[in-house]
Amino acid sequence: MNPCIIMFISLSVEVIVGLEISAKSCFLMSMGLLGLILRILGLFSNYPRRLLLPYLLRHSLKLPGGPVLLLPDGTVVKVGNPVFLQLEAEATKYARDHTQLPIPRVYDFFTSSDGHKGYLVMQHMPGDMLQRKWRFLSSEQRNSIMAQVRNMIEELRAIPQPEPQGWIGSSSRGAFRDFHIRSNETYGPFPSEAAFNTFRMGCFAKFSYSEEPTTKARLARIGREMPVASDIVFTHGDITRRNLLVEVDDNAKVVGIIDWEQAGWRPAYWEKVKIHFGGGTGSGWFAGGEFEGYEDDIGREVELHLIHGGGSM
């Protein structure tokens, strides 16, 4: 980068840091000065933001709902496991590129010098977390939101799967993460739904209860009942009220879908299963026929859940 630009950035930071003002005022000031500088320079390179990241993190604001920080340039950054954040970066970009849905733009993804931390920089989306607004909404507003979400899910499912069709994996054809199976690792990809089923049923073999005769017979029956010819569709995998952003006035509109870490190519029933287990159906959230079908699949997953005693593998 041009040395003059680096000097300009450094001088700007010194001016801001030198002001003896409150933390909140400092943040607002940086939004105006340093934020403007970074937004302009960010049109050409991510280097300025990476260079100033330690300062930006110290003067960021924690946003509700997860490990997300609002930076002075108006972007947000998630800091965490680099493997998981790379999955989120890839899936977020893929879904945004292939739909018209309100999905944040990915500006940058990089890792720390030791490779232990990942940094995902994205667009700050408007709106409020639906989880915080839900109890204040009328029945009409709730139904409207669920109808919008259903249509958004259908738009995701309409994305053609890259050939050869039928495989299960991340947006980039690689290993994926899913909290319904195991939350602390990745697995796959799988060439077919049958291979995915074999893996899932194999997860139970490591537990002693799987050898108990009655349980062993139940698991064998469930394994035989698993579908092997489902449509494989693009799936968000975590459609919950905490991952939907809304604007509410007389109407209610979904203006953001976030947290694409678990997204990828899954059997068609998987989204409904994840809504059932991940977000709950309390207070009318997808409790009825707003997302039709897949009752047998949910029943099978509930039985597996009970066999395991709840929780992921």
Q: How many CB atoms lie within 10 A of CB 156?
A: 20
What is the average per-residue pLDDT within 36-65?
77
pLDDT at 12 over 70: no
Q: How many CB atoms lie within 10 A of CB 154?
A: 11
DSSP string for 268-307: TTHHHHHIIIII--GGGTT-SSSS---HHHHHHHHHHHHH
The more confident residue out of 26 and 247 is 247
HEC secondary structure over 100-162: CCCCCCEEEEEECCCCCCEEEEEECCCCEEHHHHHHHCCHHHHHHHHHHHHHHHHHHHCCCCC
pLDDT at 41: 62
pLDDT at 18 over 60: no
Sequence spans of domains, the chain: 1-43, 128-308
pLDDT at 311: 56
pLDDT at 125: 93
Each residue's pLDDT tens digit, 145-176: 999 999 999 999 999 999 999 999 999 999 99
**What is the pLDDT confidence band of residue 288, given thresholds at 50, 70 and 90?**
low
Nearest alpha-carbon partner for 174 in 185, 186, 189, 163: 189
- Mean of all residue pLDDT scores within the chain: 85
Task: Give the DSSP H/E element, type plus range, for residue 217.
Answer: helix 213-225
Protein fold of 128-308: Aminoglycoside 3'-phosphotransferase; Chain: A, domain 2 (3.90.1200)
Nearest alpha-carbon partner for 42 in 131, 108, 116: 108
148-157, 205-214, 298-307: which is most confident: 148-157
pLDDT at 255: 98
The vertex-104 CA angle with 98 and 110, nearest 5°, equals 100
Lowest mean pLDDT among 97-101, 216-220, 228-232: 216-220
pLDDT at 22: 42
- Determine the Cα–Cα distance for residues 69 and 77; give it in Å rounded to an integer: 5
